[in-house]
Amino acid sequence: MAVLVGGIAASHTPTIGFAVDRDKASDPVWAPIFESFQPLRDWIDERKPDVLLFVYNDHVTSFFFDHYSAFTLGVGEQWAVADEGAGARDLPAIQGDPAFAEHLGRSLMADEFDMSFFQDKALDHGCFSPLSILCPRSESGWPVRLVPLQVGVLQFPIPTARRCYRLGQALRRAIESYPEDLRVAIVATGGLSHQVHGERAGFNNTEWDQRFLDLIEQDPEQLADMTHAEYAELGGIEGAEVIMWLIMRGALSAQVKCTHRSYYLPSMTGIATAIYENQSAPPAPSEQRRRAEKVSAQLAGAERLQGSYPFTIERSVRGYRINRFLHQLVVPGFRARFLADQEAEFERSQLTPIERDLIRRRDWRGLIQYGAIFFMLEKLGAVVGMSNLHIYAAMRGQSLEDFQQTRNAPGALYSVAGKDAGALQWDSPAVTPAAA
Protein backbone atom coordinates (compact mmCIF):
# COMPACT_ATOMS: atom_id res chain seq x y z
CA MET A 1 0.00 0.00 0.00
CA ALA A 2 1.04 3.59 -0.56
CA VAL A 3 2.46 5.53 2.37
CA LEU A 4 2.19 9.27 2.92
CA VAL A 5 5.63 10.03 4.33
CA GLY A 6 4.82 13.63 5.22
CA GLY A 7 4.20 17.09 3.89
CA ILE A 8 6.43 19.98 3.01
CA ALA A 9 5.57 23.55 2.16
CA ALA A 10 7.51 26.12 0.20
CA SER A 11 6.98 29.43 -1.52
CA HIS A 12 7.16 29.29 -5.30
CA THR A 13 8.27 32.81 -6.15
CA PRO A 14 10.32 32.98 -9.38
CA THR A 15 13.18 34.56 -7.42
CA ILE A 16 13.99 31.05 -6.16
CA GLY A 17 14.51 29.70 -9.68
CA PHE A 18 16.43 32.84 -10.62
CA ALA A 19 18.83 32.28 -7.71
CA VAL A 20 19.31 28.61 -8.63
CA ASP A 21 19.95 29.26 -12.31
CA ARG A 22 22.49 31.98 -11.62
CA ASP A 23 24.30 30.08 -8.85
CA LYS A 24 23.62 32.66 -6.14
CA ALA A 25 24.11 30.28 -3.19
CA SER A 26 27.13 32.22 -1.90
CA ASP A 27 25.63 35.65 -2.48
CA PRO A 28 24.62 37.18 0.91
CA VAL A 29 21.32 38.43 -0.54
CA TRP A 30 20.32 35.03 -1.88
CA ALA A 31 22.07 32.64 0.54
CA PRO A 32 19.17 32.59 3.05
CA ILE A 33 16.95 31.07 0.37
CA PHE A 34 19.34 28.15 -0.16
CA GLU A 35 19.77 27.75 3.60
CA SER A 36 16.02 27.59 4.15
CA PHE A 37 15.54 24.93 1.46
CA GLN A 38 18.46 22.71 2.49
CA PRO A 39 16.54 20.93 5.29
CA LEU A 40 13.75 20.14 2.81
CA ARG A 41 16.29 18.79 0.34
CA ASP A 42 17.87 16.67 3.09
CA TRP A 43 14.45 15.40 4.18
CA ILE A 44 13.56 14.29 0.65
CA ASP A 45 16.94 12.59 0.33
CA GLU A 46 16.40 10.80 3.64
CA ARG A 47 12.73 9.84 3.23
CA LYS A 48 13.14 8.99 -0.47
CA PRO A 49 9.59 9.50 -1.73
CA ASP A 50 8.83 7.90 -5.06
CA VAL A 51 6.33 10.60 -5.98
CA LEU A 52 5.84 14.24 -5.06
CA LEU A 53 2.19 15.30 -5.16
CA PHE A 54 2.75 18.95 -6.00
CA VAL A 55 0.02 21.48 -5.13
CA TYR A 56 0.59 24.70 -7.09
CA ASN A 57 -1.10 27.35 -9.18
CA ASP A 58 -0.23 28.13 -12.76
CA HIS A 59 0.42 31.82 -13.47
CA VAL A 60 -1.60 32.09 -16.69
CA THR A 61 1.14 30.24 -18.53
CA SER A 62 -0.31 26.87 -19.52
CA PHE A 63 -3.85 27.58 -18.29
CA PHE A 64 -5.80 30.55 -19.63
CA PHE A 65 -9.21 32.03 -18.91
CA ASP A 66 -10.91 30.35 -21.85
CA HIS A 67 -11.28 27.39 -19.47
CA TYR A 68 -10.36 27.94 -15.85
CA SER A 69 -10.82 25.14 -13.33
CA ALA A 70 -10.82 25.12 -9.55
CA PHE A 71 -8.93 21.84 -9.13
CA THR A 72 -7.22 20.10 -12.03
CA LEU A 73 -5.02 17.02 -11.64
CA GLY A 74 -2.13 16.23 -13.95
CA VAL A 75 -2.39 12.64 -15.18
CA GLY A 76 0.22 12.69 -17.95
CA GLU A 77 3.39 10.71 -18.42
CA GLN A 78 5.85 13.63 -18.34
CA TRP A 79 6.00 17.31 -17.43
CA ALA A 80 8.18 19.80 -19.28
CA VAL A 81 9.30 23.25 -18.17
CA ALA A 82 7.09 26.10 -19.41
CA ASP A 83 8.31 29.10 -21.34
CA GLU A 84 7.08 32.10 -19.37
CA GLY A 85 8.13 34.75 -21.81
CA ALA A 86 11.84 34.59 -22.60
CA GLY A 87 12.58 30.90 -23.07
CA ALA A 88 12.15 27.93 -20.79
CA ARG A 89 14.60 27.31 -17.97
CA ASP A 90 17.32 24.79 -18.74
CA LEU A 91 15.82 21.96 -16.71
CA PRO A 92 14.92 18.43 -17.80
CA ALA A 93 11.33 17.29 -17.94
CA ILE A 94 10.15 15.28 -14.94
CA GLN A 95 8.28 11.98 -15.17
CA GLY A 96 4.66 11.72 -14.07
CA ASP A 97 2.85 8.74 -12.58
CA PRO A 98 -0.35 8.19 -14.59
CA ALA A 99 -1.47 5.07 -12.71
CA PHE A 100 -1.22 6.78 -9.32
CA ALA A 101 -2.81 9.95 -10.70
CA GLU A 102 -5.72 7.98 -12.11
CA HIS A 103 -6.32 6.40 -8.71
CA LEU A 104 -6.25 9.83 -7.06
CA GLY A 105 -8.76 11.11 -9.60
CA ARG A 106 -11.13 8.19 -9.15
CA SER A 107 -10.94 8.47 -5.38
CA LEU A 108 -11.51 12.23 -5.34
CA MET A 109 -14.48 11.89 -7.69
CA ALA A 110 -15.89 9.17 -5.41
CA ASP A 111 -15.69 11.75 -2.63
CA GLU A 112 -17.64 14.18 -4.84
CA PHE A 113 -14.81 16.49 -5.78
CA ASP A 114 -15.55 17.33 -9.41
CA MET A 115 -12.02 17.28 -10.76
CA SER A 116 -10.58 18.37 -14.06
CA PHE A 117 -7.65 16.47 -15.55
CA PHE A 118 -4.82 17.57 -17.81
CA GLN A 119 -1.98 16.16 -19.89
CA ASP A 120 0.67 17.63 -22.16
CA LYS A 121 0.89 21.02 -20.43
CA ALA A 122 4.19 22.51 -19.36
CA LEU A 123 4.58 23.52 -15.72
CA ASP A 124 5.65 27.04 -14.83
CA HIS A 125 7.52 28.46 -11.83
CA GLY A 126 4.66 27.42 -9.55
CA CYS A 127 6.20 23.94 -9.76
CA PHE A 128 9.71 24.22 -11.12
CA SER A 129 10.91 27.16 -9.02
CA PRO A 130 10.76 25.22 -5.72
CA LEU A 131 11.40 21.84 -7.37
CA SER A 132 14.71 23.03 -8.82
CA ILE A 133 16.04 23.69 -5.33
CA LEU A 134 14.30 20.77 -3.59
CA CYS A 135 15.74 17.95 -5.68
CA PRO A 136 19.03 17.28 -7.41
CA ARG A 137 18.81 16.50 -11.10
CA SER A 138 21.07 15.35 -13.86
CA GLU A 139 20.91 15.05 -17.62
CA SER A 140 19.08 11.75 -17.07
CA GLY A 141 16.35 13.45 -15.07
CA TRP A 142 15.05 13.75 -11.52
CA PRO A 143 15.16 11.29 -8.59
CA VAL A 144 11.36 11.42 -8.12
CA ARG A 145 8.19 11.41 -10.17
CA LEU A 146 5.70 14.26 -9.95
CA VAL A 147 1.91 14.46 -9.97
CA PRO A 148 0.81 18.13 -10.24
CA LEU A 149 -2.43 19.43 -8.72
CA GLN A 150 -3.19 22.87 -10.15
CA VAL A 151 -5.49 25.09 -8.10
CA GLY A 152 -7.29 28.01 -9.74
CA VAL A 153 -6.61 30.85 -7.32
CA LEU A 154 -6.26 33.78 -9.73
CA GLN A 155 -9.80 34.39 -11.01
CA PHE A 156 -12.43 34.84 -8.34
CA PRO A 157 -14.50 33.02 -7.22
CA ILE A 158 -11.81 30.58 -6.13
CA PRO A 159 -12.13 27.53 -3.87
CA THR A 160 -12.74 28.39 -0.23
CA ALA A 161 -10.08 27.69 2.35
CA ARG A 162 -12.43 25.09 3.86
CA ARG A 163 -12.83 23.35 0.50
CA CYS A 164 -9.06 23.19 0.12
CA TYR A 165 -8.72 21.66 3.57
CA ARG A 166 -11.37 19.05 2.78
CA LEU A 167 -9.67 18.26 -0.51
CA GLY A 168 -6.51 17.52 1.45
CA GLN A 169 -8.44 15.13 3.70
CA ALA A 170 -9.81 13.39 0.61
CA LEU A 171 -6.31 13.17 -0.84
CA ARG A 172 -5.09 11.38 2.25
CA ARG A 173 -7.81 8.76 1.83
CA ALA A 174 -6.88 8.46 -1.83
CA ILE A 175 -3.16 8.07 -1.18
CA GLU A 176 -3.56 5.52 1.60
CA SER A 177 -5.92 3.38 -0.50
CA TYR A 178 -3.58 3.08 -3.47
CA PRO A 179 -2.82 -0.65 -3.67
CA GLU A 180 0.77 -0.43 -4.92
CA ASP A 181 3.86 0.09 -2.75
CA LEU A 182 4.58 3.79 -3.14
CA ARG A 183 6.12 6.44 -0.96
CA VAL A 184 4.38 9.79 -1.42
CA ALA A 185 5.20 13.25 -0.12
CA ILE A 186 2.73 16.08 -0.58
CA VAL A 187 4.21 19.50 -1.38
CA ALA A 188 2.26 22.73 -0.94
CA THR A 189 3.54 25.81 -2.72
CA GLY A 190 2.73 29.53 -2.78
CA GLY A 191 2.90 32.63 -0.63
CA LEU A 192 3.42 33.94 1.86
CA SER A 193 2.24 37.56 1.99
CA HIS A 194 2.54 39.50 -1.25
CA GLN A 195 0.62 41.62 -3.70
CA VAL A 196 1.93 42.23 -7.20
CA HIS A 197 -0.70 44.51 -8.73
CA GLY A 198 -2.23 47.93 -8.23
CA GLU A 199 -1.33 50.68 -5.84
CA ARG A 200 -0.93 48.08 -3.09
CA ALA A 201 1.86 46.30 -5.01
CA GLY A 202 4.72 45.45 -2.69
CA PHE A 203 2.48 44.86 0.33
CA ASN A 204 3.86 42.45 2.96
CA ASN A 205 2.84 41.51 6.48
CA THR A 206 5.56 39.62 8.32
CA GLU A 207 3.50 39.47 11.51
CA TRP A 208 0.71 37.69 9.65
CA ASP A 209 3.18 35.39 7.90
CA GLN A 210 4.49 34.17 11.27
CA ARG A 211 0.94 33.82 12.60
CA PHE A 212 -0.03 31.82 9.53
CA LEU A 213 2.91 29.46 10.08
CA ASP A 214 1.77 28.95 13.68
CA LEU A 215 -1.82 28.23 12.67
CA ILE A 216 -1.07 25.90 9.75
CA GLU A 217 0.77 23.68 12.20
CA GLN A 218 -1.38 24.02 15.31
CA ASP A 219 -4.87 25.11 14.32
CA PRO A 220 -5.64 24.67 10.60
CA GLU A 221 -9.36 24.73 11.38
CA GLN A 222 -9.07 28.45 12.16
CA LEU A 223 -7.44 29.06 8.77
CA ALA A 224 -10.11 26.97 7.04
CA ASP A 225 -12.83 29.29 8.39
CA MET A 226 -11.26 32.47 6.97
CA THR A 227 -12.64 34.21 3.91
CA HIS A 228 -10.70 35.26 0.84
CA ALA A 229 -11.14 38.90 1.83
CA GLU A 230 -9.57 38.19 5.22
CA TYR A 231 -6.63 36.46 3.59
CA ALA A 232 -6.25 39.36 1.14
CA GLU A 233 -6.38 41.98 3.89
CA LEU A 234 -3.75 40.20 5.96
CA GLY A 235 -1.49 38.87 3.21
CA GLY A 236 -2.30 40.63 -0.06
CA ILE A 237 -4.60 39.62 -2.91
CA GLU A 238 -2.05 37.24 -4.46
CA GLY A 239 -0.98 36.15 -0.96
CA ALA A 240 -4.42 34.53 -0.62
CA GLU A 241 -2.93 31.63 -2.58
CA VAL A 242 -1.70 30.25 0.77
CA ILE A 243 -5.04 28.44 0.97
CA MET A 244 -3.19 25.81 -1.10
CA TRP A 245 -1.17 25.01 2.02
CA LEU A 246 -4.42 23.79 3.56
CA ILE A 247 -4.59 21.05 0.95
CA MET A 248 -1.26 19.73 2.18
CA ARG A 249 -2.24 20.22 5.82
CA GLY A 250 -5.58 18.47 5.35
CA ALA A 251 -3.76 15.42 4.00
CA LEU A 252 -1.83 15.05 7.25
CA SER A 253 -2.94 13.94 10.70
CA ALA A 254 -4.67 16.31 13.10
CA GLN A 255 -1.50 16.51 15.14
CA VAL A 256 1.73 16.94 13.23
CA LYS A 257 5.37 17.36 14.11
CA CYS A 258 7.04 20.37 12.51
CA THR A 259 10.68 19.44 12.07
CA HIS A 260 11.71 22.56 10.15
CA ARG A 261 10.41 26.08 9.64
CA SER A 262 12.04 29.14 8.10
CA TYR A 263 11.05 32.56 6.81
CA TYR A 264 12.84 35.18 4.72
CA LEU A 265 11.57 38.35 3.05
CA PRO A 266 14.12 39.53 0.45
CA SER A 267 11.82 41.57 -1.77
CA MET A 268 8.21 41.09 -2.88
CA THR A 269 7.18 37.78 -1.27
CA GLY A 270 7.59 36.27 2.14
CA ILE A 271 9.52 33.05 1.39
CA ALA A 272 8.77 30.27 3.85
CA THR A 273 9.65 26.58 4.05
CA ALA A 274 8.39 23.92 6.45
CA ILE A 275 8.33 20.17 7.02
CA TYR A 276 5.44 18.38 8.72
CA GLU A 277 5.32 14.73 9.74
CA ASN A 278 2.27 12.67 10.63
CA GLN A 279 1.60 11.63 14.20
CA SER A 280 -1.00 8.96 13.53
CA ALA A 281 -1.13 5.30 12.56
CA PRO A 282 -1.91 4.12 9.03
CA PRO A 283 -5.50 3.07 8.27
CA ALA A 284 -6.69 -0.39 9.27
CA PRO A 285 -6.96 -3.05 6.53
CA SER A 286 -10.77 -3.05 6.85
CA GLU A 287 -10.84 0.70 6.21
CA GLN A 288 -8.62 0.28 3.17
CA ARG A 289 -10.95 -2.40 1.78
CA ARG A 290 -13.99 -0.18 2.22
CA ARG A 291 -12.16 2.63 0.51
CA ALA A 292 -11.18 0.46 -2.44
CA GLU A 293 -14.80 -0.62 -2.86
CA LYS A 294 -16.00 2.98 -2.85
CA VAL A 295 -13.40 4.08 -5.40
CA SER A 296 -14.33 1.29 -7.84
CA ALA A 297 -18.10 1.28 -7.23
CA GLN A 298 -19.20 3.45 -10.16
CA LEU A 299 -17.70 1.28 -12.92
CA ALA A 300 -18.04 -2.05 -11.12
CA GLY A 301 -19.66 -4.46 -13.59
CA ALA A 302 -18.98 -2.33 -16.68
CA GLU A 303 -16.35 -4.87 -17.76
CA ARG A 304 -19.22 -7.28 -18.53
CA LEU A 305 -20.62 -4.98 -21.24
CA GLN A 306 -19.27 -6.70 -24.32
CA GLY A 307 -17.95 -4.35 -26.98
CA SER A 308 -17.82 -1.39 -24.59
CA TYR A 309 -14.70 0.60 -23.71
CA PRO A 310 -15.26 3.28 -21.03
CA PHE A 311 -12.93 6.19 -21.71
CA THR A 312 -10.96 6.12 -18.49
CA ILE A 313 -7.91 8.19 -17.59
CA GLU A 314 -5.78 5.13 -18.36
CA ARG A 315 -7.21 4.96 -21.89
CA SER A 316 -6.90 8.72 -22.25
CA VAL A 317 -3.21 8.67 -21.39
CA ARG A 318 -2.53 5.66 -23.61
CA GLY A 319 -4.44 7.12 -26.57
CA TYR A 320 -3.45 10.74 -26.06
CA ARG A 321 -1.20 11.06 -29.10
CA ILE A 322 -3.70 9.67 -31.59
CA ASN A 323 -6.61 11.61 -30.07
CA ARG A 324 -4.59 14.82 -30.22
CA PHE A 325 -3.75 14.14 -33.87
CA LEU A 326 -7.39 13.56 -34.82
CA HIS A 327 -8.55 16.54 -32.77
CA GLN A 328 -6.45 18.82 -34.95
CA LEU A 329 -8.87 18.08 -37.79
CA VAL A 330 -11.03 20.88 -36.38
CA VAL A 331 -8.30 23.32 -37.52
CA PRO A 332 -8.80 24.26 -41.20
CA GLY A 333 -5.08 24.44 -42.01
CA PHE A 334 -4.35 21.04 -40.53
CA ARG A 335 -7.41 19.58 -42.22
CA ALA A 336 -6.20 20.78 -45.60
CA ARG A 337 -2.70 19.42 -45.05
CA PHE A 338 -4.09 16.06 -43.90
CA LEU A 339 -6.24 15.69 -47.00
CA ALA A 340 -3.33 16.71 -49.23
CA ASP A 341 -0.73 14.39 -47.66
CA GLN A 342 -1.72 12.37 -44.62
CA GLU A 343 1.62 10.57 -44.55
CA ALA A 344 3.47 13.86 -44.10
CA GLU A 345 1.20 14.75 -41.19
CA PHE A 346 1.78 11.33 -39.62
CA GLU A 347 5.49 11.99 -39.76
CA ARG A 348 5.22 15.54 -38.49
CA SER A 349 3.17 14.37 -35.50
CA GLN A 350 5.44 11.38 -34.87
CA LEU A 351 2.64 8.84 -34.80
CA THR A 352 3.69 5.25 -34.23
CA PRO A 353 3.43 2.71 -37.06
CA ILE A 354 0.36 1.20 -35.39
CA GLU A 355 -1.35 4.57 -35.10
CA ARG A 356 -0.61 5.44 -38.72
CA ASP A 357 -1.96 2.12 -39.89
CA LEU A 358 -5.20 2.46 -37.92
CA ILE A 359 -5.91 5.89 -39.40
CA ARG A 360 -4.71 4.95 -42.88
CA ARG A 361 -7.09 1.97 -43.06
CA ARG A 362 -9.94 3.80 -41.30
CA ASP A 363 -10.08 0.90 -38.89
CA TRP A 364 -12.85 2.36 -36.75
CA ARG A 365 -13.15 -0.56 -34.36
CA GLY A 366 -9.40 -0.85 -34.03
CA LEU A 367 -9.12 2.85 -33.26
CA ILE A 368 -11.60 2.52 -30.42
CA GLN A 369 -9.83 -0.53 -29.03
CA TYR A 370 -6.50 1.29 -29.24
CA GLY A 371 -7.72 4.21 -27.14
CA ALA A 372 -9.28 6.74 -29.52
CA ILE A 373 -12.55 8.23 -28.31
CA PHE A 374 -15.50 8.05 -30.68
CA PHE A 375 -15.81 11.82 -31.00
CA MET A 376 -12.44 11.92 -32.75
CA LEU A 377 -13.66 9.23 -35.12
CA GLU A 378 -16.67 11.25 -36.23
CA LYS A 379 -14.37 14.20 -36.94
CA LEU A 380 -12.17 11.98 -39.12
CA GLY A 381 -15.29 10.63 -40.81
CA ALA A 382 -16.54 14.11 -41.56
CA VAL A 383 -13.19 15.08 -43.10
CA VAL A 384 -12.88 11.98 -45.31
CA GLY A 385 -16.56 11.94 -46.29
CA MET A 386 -17.97 9.08 -44.25
CA SER A 387 -21.17 9.37 -42.27
CA ASN A 388 -21.51 8.53 -38.60
CA LEU A 389 -23.66 5.57 -39.60
CA HIS A 390 -20.84 4.13 -41.71
CA ILE A 391 -18.63 4.27 -38.63
CA TYR A 392 -21.24 2.68 -36.35
CA ALA A 393 -21.76 -0.15 -38.81
CA ALA A 394 -18.03 -0.77 -39.21
CA MET A 395 -17.52 -0.94 -35.46
CA ARG A 396 -20.21 -3.61 -35.28
CA GLY A 397 -18.66 -5.49 -38.20
CA GLN A 398 -21.77 -5.02 -40.34
CA SER A 399 -22.49 -3.62 -43.76
CA LEU A 400 -24.16 -0.24 -43.77
CA GLU A 401 -27.31 -1.80 -45.20
CA ASP A 402 -27.53 -4.43 -42.45
CA PHE A 403 -26.91 -1.85 -39.74
CA GLN A 404 -29.51 0.51 -41.21
CA GLN A 405 -32.12 -2.21 -40.90
CA THR A 406 -31.68 -2.07 -37.11
CA ARG A 407 -32.65 1.66 -37.08
CA ASN A 408 -36.15 3.14 -36.95
CA ALA A 409 -35.34 5.40 -39.91
CA PRO A 410 -33.16 3.23 -42.18
CA GLY A 411 -32.52 6.00 -44.69
CA ALA A 412 -31.11 8.55 -42.24
CA LEU A 413 -27.43 9.28 -42.76
CA TYR A 414 -25.63 12.15 -41.02
CA SER A 415 -22.29 13.44 -39.76
CA VAL A 416 -20.78 16.47 -38.03
CA ALA A 417 -19.46 17.77 -41.37
CA GLY A 418 -19.92 21.53 -41.68
CA LYS A 419 -19.95 24.12 -44.43
CA ASP A 420 -16.48 23.24 -45.74
CA ALA A 421 -17.35 19.61 -46.41
CA GLY A 422 -16.72 18.40 -49.89
CA ALA A 423 -18.71 15.74 -51.69
CA LEU A 424 -19.99 13.26 -49.11
CA GLN A 425 -19.06 9.79 -50.37
CA TRP A 426 -21.78 8.03 -48.48
CA ASP A 427 -22.20 5.33 -51.08
CA SER A 428 -18.87 3.79 -50.00
CA PRO A 429 -18.91 0.53 -48.05
CA ALA A 430 -18.85 0.83 -44.25
CA VAL A 431 -16.20 -1.83 -43.67
CA THR A 432 -12.93 -1.90 -45.55
CA PRO A 433 -11.66 -5.42 -46.33
CA ALA A 434 -8.60 -4.92 -44.11
CA ALA A 435 -10.70 -3.85 -41.13
CA ALA A 436 -13.57 -6.34 -41.48
State the number of CA atoms in the 13 A half-sphere of 290 facing the CB. Answer: 7
Spatial separation of the C-alpha atoms in residues 429 and 383, rounded to whole Å: 16
Which element (helix H / strand E) includes 145? strand 145-151
Alpha carbon separation from 401 to 172, 387, 394 (Å, rounded): 54, 13, 11
DSSP 283: P
Hey, which residues are catalytic here?
Answer: 125, 194
Spatial separation of the C-alpha atoms in residues 335 and 354, rounded to whole Å: 21
Q: Which are the contacts of 292, defined by CB distance < 8 A and separation ≥ 6? A: 177, 179
Let me know how many helices (H) and strands (E) the chain has, helices first: 19, 10
Amino acid at 70: A
- pLDDT at position 138: 79
- pLDDT at position 433: 40
- pLDDT at position 280: 85
Produce one character per residue of 203-214: b if its CB has 16 or more CB atoms within 10 Å, e if not.
bbbeebbeebbe
State the number of CA atoms in the 13 A half-sphere of 231 facing the CB. Answer: 27
Determine if the peptide bond prior to 157 is cis (ω within 30°). Answer: yes
CA–chain centroid gap for 19, Å, is: 27
- pLDDT at position 281: 84
- pLDDT at position 435: 43
- pLDDT at position 427: 65
Which element (helix H / strand E) includes 186? strand 182-189
Spatial separation of the C-alpha atoms in residues 223 and 234, rounded to whole Å: 12
Spatial separation of the C-alpha atoms in residues 384 and 25, rounded to whole Å: 59
Spatial separation of the C-alpha atoms in residues 67 and 122, rounded to whole Å: 16
Residues of the chain with pLDDT under 70: 422-425, 427-436
Helices (H), 219-341: 220-224, 228-235, 243-250, 285-296, 313-318, 320-327, 332-340
Q: What number of other Cβ atoms are within 10 A of residue 35's Cβ? A: 13
For 412, list phi and psi in degrees, rounded to 5.
-85, 115
